[in-house]
Structure formats: C-alpha cells, structure tokens
C-alpha cells in the first residue's frame, strides 16, 4: 500500500469520514512506514491539486485536511 492509499484509508476510517479535519502531523503517528511530516504534506498537497482532499489554513501553526468527496467515492 502506498502513502496515498494509507492516507485515504485512514481518513475513511474516521467518523464521520468526510467531515473530520486532521492536522498534517497527526498522520505521522497513525500511518506506518512514513519518514516524516514533509513527505506526508507533499502527498496531501498533490491530493489537494487532484481534488481528493481540501485544506484549512486558518490556524497559523498547522494545516488541517479532510476528504473532499464522500469517502466511498475517493479512489487512490
């Protein structure tokens, strides 16, 4: 399973999946095989450009992410 699949799988498992905001650093502690937050952030930014996730930059110290589509519609 690649990083994108792991991120989507983790986000789908959150309740309710399409409405839960998750900070970038959170994935580092909940997804195995990740070298660091920078790697996660790059993948989330790619996913955002492709319309899979959306971000919330309102907090100055962290970015929050959530699935943009309904969890069942997102494919890695």
- Domain positions in the chain are 3-68
Counting Cα atoms < 13 Å in the Cβ hemisphere of 39 gives 13
Put the strands of the sheet holding 22-23 in their side by side order. Answer: 22-23, 64-67, 53-56
Three-state SS for 23? strand
The answer as to CATH 1.10.150.120 being correct for domain 3-68 is no
Give the residue with greater pLDDT, 47 vs 20.
47
pLDDT digits (tens, 9 = 90+) for 34-63: 888 899 999 999 999 999 999 998 888 889
Q: Determine the average pLDDT of the residues in 59-75.
A: 73
**Calpha distance 61→75 (Å, rounded):** 30
Query: Helices 37-49 & 3-12, crossing angle to 10 degrees?
Result: 80
């Amino acid at each position: 399973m690649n990083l994108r699949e792991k991120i989507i799988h983790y986000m789908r498992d959150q309740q309710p999946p399409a409405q839960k905001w998750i900070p970038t650093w959170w994935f580092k502690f909940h997804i195995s095989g990740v070298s660091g937050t920078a790697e996660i952030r790059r993948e989330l930014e790619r996913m955002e450009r492709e319309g899979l996730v959306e971000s919330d930059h309102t907090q100055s110290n962290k970015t929050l992410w959530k699935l943009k589509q309904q969890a069942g519609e997102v494919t890695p």
